Amino acid sequence: MKLAERTARLGTESAFEVLARAKELEAEGRSIINLGIGQPNFQTPINIVEAGRKALLDGHHGYTPANGILQLREAVAADIGTRHCVEVEPEEVVVVPGGKVTMFFAALMFGEPGAEILYPNPGFPIYHSVIEFSGATPVPIPLYEETGFSFSADEVLSKITPNTRLIMLNSPANPTGGVTPKAEFDRLVEGLEAHPEVAIMSDEIYSRLLYDEQEHVSLLAYPSIRDRVILLDGWSKTYAMTGWRIGYGIWPGSLAEQATRLAVNSNSCVNAVTQVAAIEALTGPQHSVETMRLAFDERRKIMLSELNQIEGFRCVEPQGAFYAMPNIEGTGISADELQDGLLEVAGVATIAGTSFGDFGEGYIRFSYAASKEEILEAMRRIRAFLATRVA
Ligand SMILES: Cc1ncc(COP(=O)(O)O)c(C=O)c1O
């Protein structure tokens, strides 16, 4: 068989490989603490589960419109209106099976040989993967520990060439927990006004996971670029719904129609029961969102303090999402080797920074979407592992 050349260009998300290996080790009877995969260790709030169960019993068994049930798109538009103070029409909302799908659609829509797409590095690995798949050239926007892994507007603007079609941005960020300050967004938007042909895909999937009284900055809220911002958000992280597979894009102008066409050609629609549950998530009580955020915040503080006490580790304070990415150069062990050793020997699943791009060398990602006890035990195991390495 001869496969299309582009299939060889698809990357992957190592978190799923690490998860599979962790499960294998567990099946062999090993105790594994999973700080690898980025998903809340909470159950979906019960009101949402009940709405899903009722939807199943009420007969929501068929196809829905490809862009999502109208009532759901209205709920998304209202939610965006409240949270980001920007008016969104339900026609601009395209509901898809997970946040990831919006980035795939954006890459397919803008990427082709000769085009350049900017993406954060270290960043969510699927950005690079889908850009490569599209045939476009991925252009990394380096993120530095020194600036808390926030992006620099000047650096982003300096990468724009006549071939730039799309810029992918992510704040709060995976894998670093970095949050870009509003002043930087302001400067970026001002600079982007000189490049009206460049679209921006803003991945704001962690917009409700911010700490220390920070307010989320949405690129959708800037009127001067409103007609070329694609907003990516969803339910996975905010409502602990990673396995329900639902997310959405806000697509300006005719792009919503294009995104819907991609949906018709691939997934047809998101399963109806999940969509009904998602309406309840947005319109029902929101206290569980805050309860989970507070729990993450407590774990963030524990993890940061613990990581900074490990010899050879140095971690900047993550300000959003549920990840910390310490610099591990002081251990003298490479990120890949440390990831393997921690999993195979110490029984702690983490992800090497190299999984998130070249700029991730020398770092390792921890998810603190785990219990306090698990985090503390993991840190004890890491210290013990490193002690044997030194000895
Ligand atoms: C930055 C970022 N964007 C998007 C996603 C995808 O989310 P979903 O599970 O809804 O597809 C993730 C998941 O880890 C993520 O970290």
In this predicted structure, the answer to whether residue 157 has a pLDDT above a threshold of 90 is yes
Residue 13 has what pLDDT? 83
| Residue 358, CA atoms < 13 Å, CB-side half-sphere | 6
Residue 17 has what pLDDT? 87
Residue of higher predicted confidence among 390 and 327: 327
* CA 130 to centroid of chain Cα atoms: 14
Q: 134: which 2 tokens?
A: 């599209």
Q: Which atom of ligand 1 is nearest to the CA of 236?
A: 10
Residue 266 has what pLDDT? 97
In this predicted structure, the answer to whether residue 274 has a pLDDT above a threshold of 90 is yes
Residue 37 has what pLDDT? 84
Rounded to whole angstroms, the Cα distance separating 23 from 31 reads 10
Average pLDDT over residues 150-171: 97
In this predicted structure, the answer to whether residue 391 has a pLDDT above a threshold of 80 is no
Residue 38 has what pLDDT? 84
Q: Report strand pairing: 351-352 vs 364-367.
A: antiparallel
Q: 288: which 2 tokens?
A: 């569980």
Q: Which atom of ligand 1 is nearest to the CA of 234?
A: 10
The mean pLDDT of the chain is 96
Residue 258 has what pLDDT? 98
Quote the percentage of the chain above a pLDDT of 90. 95
In this predicted structure, the answer to whether residue 33 has a pLDDT above a threshold of 80 is yes
CA dihedral in degrees (171, 273, 50, 92; nearest 10)?
Answer: 40
Residue 382 has what pLDDT? 97
330-364 confidence digits (pLDDT tens)? 999 999 999 999 999 999 999 999 999 988 889 99
Average pLDDT over residues 370-390: 94
User: Ligand 1 pocket: which of 237, 245, 246, 248 to mutate (most atoms <8 Å of CB)?
Assistant: 237
**Cα 40 to ligand 1 centroid, rounded to whole Å:** 12
**Cα 163 to ligand 1 centroid, rounded to whole Å:** 27
The region of weakest confidence among 5-9, 92-96, 114-118 is 5-9
Q: Which atom of ligand 1 is nearest to the CA of 39?
A: 14
Residue 390 has what pLDDT? 67
163-208 confidence digits (pLDDT tens)? 999 999 999 999 999 999 999 999 999 999 999 999 999 999 999 9
Average pLDDT over residues 98-118: 98
Task: Write the burial class of residue 259 (CB in 10 Å: 0-12 exposed, 13-18 middle, 19+ buried).
Answer: buried
In this predicted structure, the answer to whether residue 267 has a pLDDT above a threshold of 70 is yes
In this predicted structure, the answer to whether residue 79 has a pLDDT above a threshold of 90 is yes
- H helix runs in 138-251, sequence order: 153-158, 182-192
User: Ligand 1 pocket: which of 37, 101, 236 to mutate (most atoms <8 Å of CB)?
Assistant: 236
Residues with CB under 6 A from ligand 1: 38, 98-100, 124, 170, 174, 203, 205, 234, 236, 242, 247
Q: How confident is the model at residue 239 (pLDDT cuts 50, 70, 90)?
A: very high
